[in-house]
Amino acid sequence: SQHKVYVTRPDVDDSGLELLRKSCQVSTWHETNPVPRSELIRVVAGKDALYCALTDKVDKEVLDAAGPQLKCVATISVGYDHIDVEECRKRGIRVGFTPDVLTDATAELTLALLLATNRRLFEANKQVYNGGWKSWAPMWMCGQGLKGSRVGLLGFGRIGQEIAARIVPFKPTEITYTTRSLRPKEAAAVNARHVDFDEMLRESDLIVVCCALTPETKEIFNATAFQKMKPNCILINTARGGVVDQKALYEALKTKRILAAGLDVTTPEPLPIDDPLLKLDNVVILPHIGSADIETRKEMSRITARNILAALAGDKMVAEVEL
Ligand code: GLV
Ligand code: GLV
């Protein structure tokens, strides 16, 4: 009989669902808001594969509810901090994700946020609408350019490297990066220098978070870190909200300990509209749209489906999390 696959969203691109429907019995959650946890726990029972997104926490409880039939969890994302991969490993459940295909889209969005915060685009744009634009003025809405700046990257994987490559044409003084693996060849390609986290904090005019959320990086940007940063530093985060202690970030922005922040990710998501961060002028917040380029999202849908089909057939997946 056909494999049963549950898809936690009705709105992933249909090209992915079509691939699954050819050989599997596919059921999906029916609303565009995430499937409620109680519903996921109910419907996952007896499924062979789970097609999920970063909005679904796949932990021991969900895996227990699924039962021994579950062979694969595939997420339509590059991040998999929402999946308990250790529990999956113990149970022999294979985990798929969608790296590579979204690297360029995410790097582009990061550059957009970096320029937007550096040159105060959103703050300036508001002035056009609220009457704040009185006349051209020599020092009004000035920001700091990228040229001549010191840029630090926390994380130097696929996305970090592509961000670095896109920053190079803006002529920074230096690009530094902090990671566990040195990646000398990749670093040489963009003339980046490896530094420890402390040096990055102390020296950077711009810090870009492009690492995975792990126990090691969780809230690594805390009050102590913000204390070490230069007052003109701008923090960009297109990775995961959890890498930043958001209360400490609020304090750092409010007290001008740092200059500004550009965030595509927050804690929680969505950020409540009464969150104090939204009252500040020196922060630009986007609703987690890093990979939101049409072709990228379509391909992510297909890769997630192919990951499932490969796992169910016992074949090599397009992209499998090494457990
Ligand atoms: C988005 O945040 C992703 O992990 O793909
Ligand atoms: C903050 O809004 C900035 O654009 O610097």
C-beta of residue 70 within 8 angstroms of C-beta of residue 49: yes
Residues 141 and 234 in one domain: yes
Q: Where are the alpha helices (DSSP H) in 146-287?
A: 158-167, 184-189, 197-203, 223-228, 246-254
Q: Which of 3, 30, 82, 288 is catalytic?
A: 288
The pLDDT value recorded for residue 175 is 98
How many domains is the chain partitioned into structurally?
2
Residue 323 confidence class, pLDDT cut points 50, 70, 90: confident
Residue 320 belongs to some domain of the structure:
no
- Quote the pLDDT of residue 163: 98
7 — pLDDT class (breaks 50, 70, 90): very high
| Interface predicted TM-score (ipTM) over 0.90 | no
Query: Facing residues of 138 across strands?
Result: none
Residue 300: inside a domain? yes
Does the residue 318 lie in any domain? no
Ligand 2 atom nearest 280 alpha carbon: 2
Mean pLDDT over residues 85-104, rounded? 98
242-252 pLDDT per residue, tens: 999 999 999 99
What count of residues does the chain have?
Answer: 323
**Is 195 part of any domain?**
yes
pLDDT digits 0-9 by tens, 30-67: 999 999 999 999 999 999 999 999 999 999 999 999 99
Question: Are residues 165 and 226 located together in one domain of the fold?
Answer: yes
The mean pLDDT value of the chain amounts to 97
Ligand nearest 77 Cα, by number?
1
Q: Does the annotation count 82 as an active-site position?
A: no
177 and 191 fall within a common domain: yes
| In the predicted structure, residue 1 carries a pLDDT above the cut 80 | no
Spatial contact of 72 and 312, defined as CB atoms under 8 Å apart: yes
> What is the identity of the amino acid at 67?
G
- Report which of 301, 305, 321 is spatially closest to residue 313, judged by C-alpha positions: 305
Distance 257 CA to ligand 2 centre (A): 14
Range of the domain at 41: 3-99+294-313
Round to whole Å and give the CA distance between 80 and 273. 27
Which residues' Cβ are closer than 6 Å to ligand 2?
117, 120, 122-123, 260, 281-284
Task: Based on the fold, state whether residues 9 and 71 are members of the same structural domain.
Answer: yes
In a domain, 322, yes or no: no
Give the residues surrounding ligand 1 with Cβ less than 6 Å away: 54, 77-79, 102, 290-291
H-type alpha helices, 44-120: 60-66, 85-91, 103-118
* Residue 173 shares a structural domain with residue 225: yes
* pLDDT exceeds cutoff 80 at 174: yes
CA 37 from centre of chain:
22
Residue 5 confidence (pLDDT): 98
> Which numbered ligand comes closest to the C-alpha of 157?
1
Kindly identify the ligand whose nearest atom is closest to the C-alpha of 263.
Answer: 2
Nearest to 25 by CA among 43, 52, 47: 47
The amino acid at 20 = L
- Which atom of ligand 2 lies closest to the CA of 282? 1
Are residues 306 and 192 located together in one domain of the fold? no
- Residues 93, 133, single domain; the answer is no
pLDDT digits over 152-164, tens only? 999 999 999 999 9
If asked whether residues 120 and 263 sit together in one domain, one would say yes
Give exposure, 210-241, as e/b (b: 16+ Cβ within 10 Å).
bbbbeeebebbbeeebbeebbeebbbbbbbbb
Shared domain for 77 and 222, answered yes or no, is no
The CA 91 to ligand 1 mean position distance, Å, reads: 25
> Given a cut of 90, is residue 201 above it in pLDDT?
yes
**What integer pLDDT is reported at residue 217 of this predicted model?**
98
| Centroid of ligand 1 to alpha carbon of 110 (angstroms) | 13
Is residue 192 domain-shared with residue 139, that is, in the same domain? yes
Structure tokens at 172: 């920074």
95-125, pLDDT tens digit by residue?
Answer: 999 999 999 999 999 999 999 999 999 999 9
Cα 321 to ligand 2 centroid, rounded to whole Å: 37
pLDDT above 70: percentage of residues in the chain: 100
CATH of the domain at 16: 3.40.50.720
174 and 81 part of one domain? no
Assess whether 189 and 205 both reside in one domain: yes
Taking residues 220-235, what's their average pLDDT?
A: 98
pLDDT tens track for 254-312:
999 999 999 999 999 999 999 999 999 999 999 999 999 999 999 999 999 999 999 99
Residue 321 lies in a domain: no
Asked if 85 and 70 touch (Cβ cutoff 8 Å), the reply is no
